[in-house]
């Protein structure tokens, strides 16, 4: 086992060195912004201010710097001027997927997903003591038992003193001791109530709130924990119960991430792989943004309040709620950031949706931004904007967009994004034109062997 760990660590180090040469092309150009490409649609109160090309999955902040996690590594942006971020540094470090990059004190965590079972997952511990020159100070292989679904998708600090992290993405949560950041240690795993679903046993994300409560979400819903002296036996405070467990009207895949705001828990449901449609797995599910009531958490109960879905929901079902987004591929609600009653929600190809949750029983859209050729992984309010109007996106296809929403969305009226006719394909034609790909099925379809172009194009040519 020691030799296996040594080989994994050596491989990770080699990949990091190769990255220094091979992935610089993926980093944004110094200075920041290309010519601004008009969005497909935007509400009148949302404005595109700047664009930094590249690829981005997550973001976190320290002082006046943003640390952007992408598949090529970490990009550091100087956001002292919040509406005009400037490239300040890079750490080439190819990995997948580390969506929700986390930091605490002078330590930033990047994790690489498992390759199979619980093999291949790696945690990179990165020092940001020099804010513009992040440096890998430790590499910790995770799992390595050769069984089960291993962690590695996302790592989050769960102690304010930065000494402990939970790693999600597997059927158990792996706990890592970071008391000495340069010498991290895996303490083992525990089974989270948030993973307990027969349909999809997985935990996905962890959030430490201001009360010291640790929130874990996944296929089994959401669970609130309090840490104890035993890192592998946190105290369970409450769960979303059957209502939050896949399958349910509130969870058709996973509860994706959460933020607590007072007596309300905000959650996105991710739902992007449908197996009950024709063709199956066409990625037409879109998930929801949800509010949950915490007033009875002391009784162990978390109850649903309201949900919100985009304008595409119900278009093929006469308006009935079906969680479908029939004109998109990557289409689900995803990472969000909430501030002062307005959540900025990344919604993949459906852009950023600004949702007013001040009345948790009536979630209201007060702004939207849908970029061309975008896949908006996440949206974040700028911590350096004194007016609370600037939002940064993390977009897998575009990089970073800098947006401004007038009044932080607090003065916005209820709005509805357009759905253009040209966005619609034909499910019947799609199933005629495509067959499932070898590895990922209909998530990555390929043309039928007899076709050079999709059926709709053939028909258009007469």
Round the CA-based radius of gyration of the chain to a whole number and report it. Answer: 22
Q: Is the pLDDT of residue 457 over 60?
A: no
* Closest by Cα among 396, 399, 433 to 282: 433
Measured CA to CA, the distance from residue 275 to residue 442 in angstroms comes to 9
Measured CA to CA, the distance from residue 269 to residue 332 in angstroms comes to 8
Q: Is the pLDDT of residue 116 over 60?
A: yes
pLDDT tens sequence across 233-247: 999 999 999 999 999
Q: Is the pLDDT of residue 314 over 60?
A: yes
* Region of poorest pLDDT, from 54-63, 151-160, 266-275, 398-407: 266-275
Mean per-residue pLDDT, 164-174: 97
pLDDT tens sequence across 274-291: 556 555 544 456 789 999
Distances (CA, A) of 110 to 138, 164, 284, 387: 11, 14, 30, 31
pLDDT given for residue 145 in this prediction = 86
How many residues in the chain?
Answer: 462
SS3 assignment, position 82: coil
pLDDT given for residue 11 in this prediction = 43
* Neighbouring residues of 35: CB distance < 8 A, sequence distance ≥ 6: none
Mean per-residue pLDDT, 302-315: 88
pLDDT given for residue 245 in this prediction = 98
Residue 107: both structure tokens together: 């330590």
Half-sphere CA count of 39, side-chain side, radius 13 A: 26
Superfamily of 2-427 according to CATH: YVTN repeat-like/Quinoprotein amine dehydrogenase (2.130.10.10)
Tell me which H or E stretch contains 7.
Answer: helix 2-22
The band of 313, judged by pLDDT with boundaries at 50, 70 and 90, is confident
Residue 144: both structure tokens together: 């390595």
pLDDT given for residue 97 in this prediction = 85
Residue 434: both structure tokens together: 């495509």
Q: Is the pLDDT of residue 389 over 60?
A: yes
Residue 135: both structure tokens together: 């440096």
CATH 2.130.10.10 domain locations along the chain: 2-427
* Neighbouring residues of 332: CB distance < 8 A, sequence distance ≥ 6: 253, 256, 269, 270, 271, 272, 285, 286, 287, 325, 347, 348
SS3 assignment, position 275: coil
Q: Is the pLDDT of residue 427 over 80?
A: no
Tell me, yes or no, if the pTM score tops 0.95: no
Q: Is the pLDDT of residue 188 over 60?
A: yes
DSSP-derived secondary structure for 408-443:
GGTTPPP------GGG---HHHHHHHEEEETTTEEE
pLDDT given for residue 462 in this prediction = 30
The band of 7, judged by pLDDT with boundaries at 50, 70 and 90, is very low
DSSP letter assigned to residue 390: E
Q: Which residues pair with 345 in a beta bridge?
A: 336, 353
pLDDT given for residue 4 in this prediction = 41
| Helix/strand/coil percentages in the chain, nearest 5 | 10, 40, 50
Q: In angstroms, how far is the first alpha carbon of the chain from the final one?
A: 63
pLDDT given for residue 443 in this prediction = 55
Measured CA to CA, the distance from residue 412 to residue 355 in angstroms comes to 10
Half-sphere CA count of 278, side-chain side, radius 13 A: 4
Mean per-residue pLDDT, 51-80: 97
The band of 460, judged by pLDDT with boundaries at 50, 70 and 90, is very low
Three-state secondary structure string covering 318-379: CCCCCCECCCCCCCCCCCEEEECCEEEEECECCCEEEEECCCCCCCEEEEEEECCCCCEEEE
Highest mean pLDDT among 19-23, 414-418, 432-436: 414-418
Compute the mean pLDDT over every residue in the chain, rounded to the nearest whole number: 86
The band of 35, judged by pLDDT with boundaries at 50, 70 and 90, is confident
């Amino acid at each position: 086992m020691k030799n296996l760990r040594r080989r994994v660590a050596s491989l990770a180090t080699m990949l990091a060195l190769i990255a220094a040469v091979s992935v610089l092309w993926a980093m944004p150009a110094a200075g920041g912004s290309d010519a601004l490409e008009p969005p497909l649609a935007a509400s009148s109160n949302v404005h595109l201010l700047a664009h930094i090309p590249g690829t981005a999955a997550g973001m976190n902040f320290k002082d006046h710097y943003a640390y952007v996690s992408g598949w090529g590594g970490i990009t550091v942006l100087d956001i002292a001027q919040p509406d005009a971020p400037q490239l300040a540094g890079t750490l080439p470090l190819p990995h997948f997927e580390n969506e929700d990059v986390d930091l605490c004190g002078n330590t930033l965590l990047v994790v690489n997903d498992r390759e199979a079972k619980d093999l291949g997952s790696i945690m990179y511990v990165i020092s940001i003591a020099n804010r513009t020159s992040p440096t890998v100070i430790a590499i910790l292989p995770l799992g390595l038992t050769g069984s089960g679904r291993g962690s590695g998708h996302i790592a989050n600090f769960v102690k304010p003193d930065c000494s402990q992290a939970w790693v999600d993405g597997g059927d158990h949560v792996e706990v890592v001791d970071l008391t000495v950041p340069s010498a991290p240690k895996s303490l083992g795993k525990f089974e989270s109530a948030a993973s307990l679903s027969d349909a999809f046993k997985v935990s996905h994300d962890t959030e430490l709130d201001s009360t010291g409560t640790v929130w874990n979400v996944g296929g089994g819903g959401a669970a609130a924990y309090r840490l104890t002296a035993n890192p592998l036996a946190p105290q369970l405070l409450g769960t979303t119960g059957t209502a939050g467990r896949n399958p349910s009207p509130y969870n058709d895949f996973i509860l994706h991430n959460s933020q607590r705001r007072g007596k309300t828990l905000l959650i996105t449901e991710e739902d992007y792989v449908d197996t009950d449609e024709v063709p199956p797995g066409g990625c037409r599910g879109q998930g929801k943004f949800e509010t949950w009531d915490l007033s009875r958490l002391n009784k162990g109960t978390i109850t649903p309040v309201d949900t919100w879905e985009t304008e595409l929901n119900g278009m093929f079902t006469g308006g009935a709620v079906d969680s479908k987004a029939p004109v998109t591929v990557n289409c689900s609600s995803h990472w969000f950031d909430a501030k002062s009653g307005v959540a900025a929600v990344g919604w993949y190809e459906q852009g950023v949706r600004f949702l007013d949750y001040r009345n948790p029983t009536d979630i209201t859209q007060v702004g939207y931004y849908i970029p061309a050729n975008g896949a908006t992984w996440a949206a974040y309010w700028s911590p350096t904007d004194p007016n609370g109007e600037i939002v940064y996106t993390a977009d897998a296809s575009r990089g970073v967009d800098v947006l401004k929403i007038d009044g932080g969305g607090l003065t916005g009226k209820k709005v509805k994004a357009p759905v253009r006719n040209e966005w619609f394909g034909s499910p019947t034609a799609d199933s005629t034109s495509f067959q499932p790909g070898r590895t990922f099925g209909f998530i990555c379809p390929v043309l039928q062997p007899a076709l050079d172009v999709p059926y709709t194009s053939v028909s258009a040519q007469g």
